[in-house]
Structure formats: structure tokens, C-alpha cells
């Protein structure tokens, strides 16, 4: 009996091990730091932060974790285009001074200050586009239109006169000299069609000159006759071969 009592008292004297809180539960900071040195005990739970001072610049302590502050800005963290950094927060601009040189505040957004307007025109060769001077683009390159003829004819048809006017405009606006080449469909002899193609090219030349084209802008006229004609079996196909082409 005596030996039993001694054993009981001896066991009671041994400190109990492993009876502390289990991570992430805690009673004090040391309980957390044994597992993660950068954590603290808050409300008996290990967390990354107690307050904002435990977080890095640009972060705040929320729900025990350091989280990025929405819209935070400083010398290293820039605001989106058009916003300004005020009190370390990205915000709409209030005045032109906040936007910096060459910028202005427009409806809360920093925008480039206009380079030109009605009172400040652009220099020669430039035009004002959305408040900025831009080089005046050259006119788009025009495309010549072939002139088509009736069977065995070399006169300019009424329905081809608009095309003739467009070709004349193209030559004038872009200062493009051309060579006129006449074609025929596959019917008829080669000799006859060569002569007919030449008459068609000459007819287009005369018409252009009557429209005001300088004769030196027409480098020459020639005929291919039916040499490049397609093998056709109906009028719709033959019509495409009875024409005069413009070549630079």
C-alpha cells in the first residue's frame, strides 16, 4: 500500500506534456510563434496581423490577414491612366494642376491638353484631329476603271461616261500618266480586231482630252486585239473582252 501511494505522488509530480492548445488555436503569442514566427495570438487564434502596423506598406489588416488596400498608390505604385494619387489613394482629378504638365482635368479624368483648336490652328501640312496636330494623309490611291464597248463599235457608250469621268479624276488628283490598251472578243480575224482595239484606245484618249486631261498624261495607245480574249459562248462573256484598260 505504501509503495502504491509513493508511485501515485511521483506521477503527479511529472509536468503534463502535450496538453497546450493545438495550432491554430492559442493562448498567447508564443503558441503561434512556435509554428510560425510571424504570427500573433488574437482571440485565441493564430493570425498574421493584429492591426495595420503588422502589415507592409500598401496593405491593411483585415480578418487577421494582410490584404492589399484597394486603390492604394505611392511613388512606386502608380494609378491607372487618367487618375491621380491623393492621400495614397487613386482618385478622380479635381483640377488641372493635379494632372501635371501637358495635361488637363476633364470630368474627373486627366487627359492630354489639346494642341490645337479654332484659335490655335496647326501648321501647314497638318490638320487638327481631336485636339492634336496630325500630318494630313495623302488621298487614297484610286483604281482605274476599264471602259467597255458594244460589239464591233469604238464609240464611248452613254453608260460608260461616269467611268470616264472617274478615270479622268484619278489621273488629275494623283498626277498619274497612263497607257491605254484596247481589246476585242474572240470573234473576227486577228488583223481586224487589232485595228478595232486600236480605234477603241484612241477613242478613250480623245474623250479624256475633251474632259481636260493634258495629252502628255497619256503615254500612248495600243491594241492587243483578241490576243488575250477568253474562250466564250455567250454575250455576257464576250462583253468583258470588249474594253480599254488603263495602265500606269
For the stretch 69-105, pLDDT in tens is 999 999 989 999 999 999 999 999 999 999 999 899 9
How many other β-carbons are positioned within 10 Å of the β-carbon of residue 217?
15
Segment 109-133 mean pLDDT = 88
Among residues 127, 152, 110, the alpha carbon closest in space to that of 241 is found at 152
Q: Which residues pair with 147 in a beta bridge?
A: 244
Kindly report, residue by residue over 15-64, the tens digit of the pLDDT: 444 567 899 999 999 999 999 999 999 999 999 999 999 999 999 999 99
At the topology level of CATH, where does 147-247 sit?
60s Ribosomal Protein L30; Chain: A; (3.30.1330)
Confidence of residue 142 (pLDDT cuts 50, 70, 90): confident
Q: How far apart are CA 59 and CA 52, in angstroms?
A: 7
Four-CA torsion 106, 109, 113, 118, nearest 10 degrees: -30
Q: How many helices (H) and strands (E) does the chain have?
A: 6, 14
pLDDT of residue 18: 54
From CA 50, how far away is CA 40, in angstroms rounded? 7
What are the residue boundaries of the structural domains of the chain, listed by start?
Answer: 19-68, 84-135, 147-247
CA distance 230 to 184: 10
Buried b (16+ CB within 10 A) or exposed e, 44-70: eebbbbeeeebbeeebebeebebeebe
Half-sphere exposure of 153 (CA within 13 A, CB side): 10
Amino acid at each position: 500500500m505504501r509503495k502504491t501511494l509513493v508511485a501515485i505522488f511521483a506521477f503527479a509530480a511529472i509536468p503534463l506534456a502535450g496538453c497546450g492548445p493545438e495550432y491554430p488555436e492559442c493562448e498567447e503569442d508564443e503558441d503561434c510563434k512556435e509554428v510560425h514566427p510571424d504570427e500573433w495570438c488574437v482571440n485565441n487564434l493564430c493570425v498574421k496581423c493584429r492591426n495595420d502596423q503588422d502589415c507592409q506598406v500598401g496593405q491593411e489588416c483585415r480578418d487577421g490577414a494582410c490584404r492589399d488596400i484597394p486603390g492604394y498608390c505611392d511613388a512606386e505604385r502608380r494609378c491607372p491612366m487618367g487618375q491621380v494619387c491623393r492621400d495614397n489613394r487613386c482618385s478622380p482629378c479635381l483640377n488641372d494642376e493635379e494632372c501635371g504638365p501637358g495635361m488637363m482635368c476633364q470630368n474627373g479624368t486627366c487627359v492630354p491638353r489639346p494642341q490645337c483648336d479654332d484659335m490655335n490652328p496647326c501648321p501647314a501640312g497638318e490638320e487638327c484631329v481631336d485636339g492634336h496636330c496630325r500630318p494630313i494623309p495623302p488621298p487614297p490611291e484610286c483604281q482605274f476603271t476599264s471602259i467597255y464597248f458594244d460589239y464591233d463599235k469604238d464609240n464611248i457608250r452613254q453608260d460608260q461616261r461616269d467611268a470616264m469621268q472617274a478615270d479622268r479624276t484619278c489621273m488629275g488628283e494623283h498626277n498619274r500618266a497612263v497607257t491605254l490598251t484596247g481589246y476585242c472578243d474572240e470573234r473576227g480575224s486577228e488583223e481586224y480586231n487589232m485595228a478595232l482595239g486600236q480605234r477603241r484606245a484612241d477613242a478613250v484618249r480623245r474623250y479624256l482630252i475633251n474632259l481636260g486631261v493634258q495629252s502628255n498624261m497619256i503615254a500612248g495607245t495600243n491594241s492587243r486585239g483578241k490576243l488575250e480574249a477568253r474562250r466564250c459562248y455567250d454575250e455576257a462573256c464576250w462583253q468583258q473582252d470588249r474594253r480599254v484598260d488603263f495602265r500606269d
